[in-house]
Amino acid sequence: MDTLQLVIPTLFGLEGLAAEELRRLDLSGVAAENGRVFCSASPADIPRVLLGLRTGERALVVLGRFYAADFDALFEGVRALPWERFIPKGGAFPVKGHSLNSALRSVPACQSIVKKAVAARLGAKYGLETLPEDGALHQIQFSILKDEVTVMLDTCGPGLHKRGYRAVGVAAPLRETLAAAMVMLSKYRGRDPFCDPFCGSGTIAIEAALIARNRAPGLNRSFTAQKWDWLPSKLWMAAADEAMDKEFHGDYDIWGGDIDPYAVEIARSNAVKADVEDCVRFEVADATRFHRDEPYGRVVTNPPYGERIMEKKEAEELYRAFGQTVRGLPQGWKVSVLSSHTEFERTFGRTADKRRKLYNGMLKCDLFQYTGKK
């Protein structure tokens, strides 16, 4: 199969990091846009991207881009694409999508047109009036933006942030992709001590452990594309071998603390599921008493935001106390704090050296970075 185009949607603010990761995975034609990154890929690259990417939300194969301002143009544009190269006779092909600032506004109507066009093409190619759709899932996605239609196939199933290690039902957890991005932005390389004093379910510390080990985040889960005929299992095995060959096996000092014993219990069990329990420690601890004596280190953390009025006041008290604690650390410590609280810097007591806008789901946050003095 020829070179394909992939599109990687990302959380807003993470496009540059995802693009950098793709380049490091040796992909070419990498181009970041708002909320997504495009790149060229061979079929063998797809498992490599799915296993290795830390900051992308999913990976989709772009099958075509064309303009359509009415249903006929949508139907013809979709029918003209070479679906038989990607979807076998029995393949299931549900359709979902979205439309923004376009003449074709009704998403359900577009879904049904796309479905009919794909069925017409495959039916003609396979000589079938009704397609059984009893085989592997090939989720079709379309986006229509200012009348430009992009038609894609989702390779993932559950999003890439679902690494397979996190317990369900935890309050306010951070997305794994965002946690990985925070660790990467702190320039943590596995050498200095790494601490998250508000660790909750442990996401930041676990992502730090995966990064320190250079362990591919997708190794503990499966993807829908594993069942596709044109991505044979030897490609997945080669990608897994390549990823495992790149792992490091050093000693790492990664610590997470939380005042809530239940959160600590969950963090520990998540670390076991992520296979990093031998390099992360979790303890019940009050972040306002956090201290370390080592001259260098990283704190990367996500304290409570205090979304409601009363909680907001409590959050401010906590930031004040935590600010004092952080000022007691040796000067080589770099501190990154993610918060949506508008008064964070004032209550923490220091203006950040760097500030970066990030989104925790729909919630707009800032990553306040204090770079320390060497």
Ligand X SMILES: C[S@@+](CC[C@H](N)C(=O)[O-])C[C@H]1O[C@@H](n2cnc3c(N)ncnc32)[C@H](O)[C@@H]1O
What are the residues binding ligand X (CB under 6 A)? 170, 172-174, 197-198, 200-201, 203-204, 257-260, 263, 286-288, 302-304, 318
Integer-rounded Cα radius of gyration of the chain: 23
For residue 284, the minimal CB distance to ligand X (Å) is 9
Compare residues 222 and 288 and give the one whose CB is closer to ligand X.
288
Q: Cβ(142)–Cβ(151) under 8 Å?
A: yes
- The residue with tokens 């995975």 is 25
* Cα 18 to Cα 158: distance, rounded to the nearest angstrom: 18
* Cα 9 to Cα 12: distance, rounded to the nearest angstrom: 9
Compare residues 98 and 289 and give the one whose CB is closer to ligand X.
289
**Phi, psi torsion values for 351, nearest 5 degrees:** -75, 135
Residue 260's CB is within 10 A of a number of other CB atoms, namely: 14
* Cα 208 to Cα 183: distance, rounded to the nearest angstrom: 6
Compare residues 174 and 208 and give the one whose CB is closer to ligand X.
174
* Cα 16 to Cα 31: distance, rounded to the nearest angstrom: 9
CA separation, residue 194 to residues 140, 172, 220, 341 (Å): 41, 22, 23, 24
For residue 292, the minimal CB distance to ligand X (Å) is 15
Q: Cβ(5)–Cβ(41) under 8 Å?
A: yes
Residue number with the shortest CB distance to ligand X?
200
For residue 339, the minimal CB distance to ligand X (Å) is 9
For residue 311, the minimal CB distance to ligand X (Å) is 11
Which residues, including other chains, have CB under 8 Å from residue 112's CB and lie 6 or more apart? none
Looking at residue 64, what DSSP letter applies? E
The type of residue at 312 is K
For residue 73, the minimal CB distance to ligand X (Å) is 45
For residue 350, the minimal CB distance to ligand X (Å) is 19
Compare residues 77 and 173 and give the one whose CB is closer to ligand X.
173
Compare residues 148 and 286 and give the one whose CB is closer to ligand X.
286
How far is the first Cα of the chain from the last one, in angstroms, to the nearest whole number? 51
Compare residues 13 and 200 and give the one whose CB is closer to ligand X.
200
Q: Cβ(30)–Cβ(37) under 8 Å?
A: yes
Compare residues 190 and 303 and give the one whose CB is closer to ligand X.
303
Compare residues 152 and 326 and give the one whose CB is closer to ligand X.
326
For residue 41, the minimal CB distance to ligand X (Å) is 31
Length of the chain: 374
For residue 196, the minimal CB distance to ligand X (Å) is 7
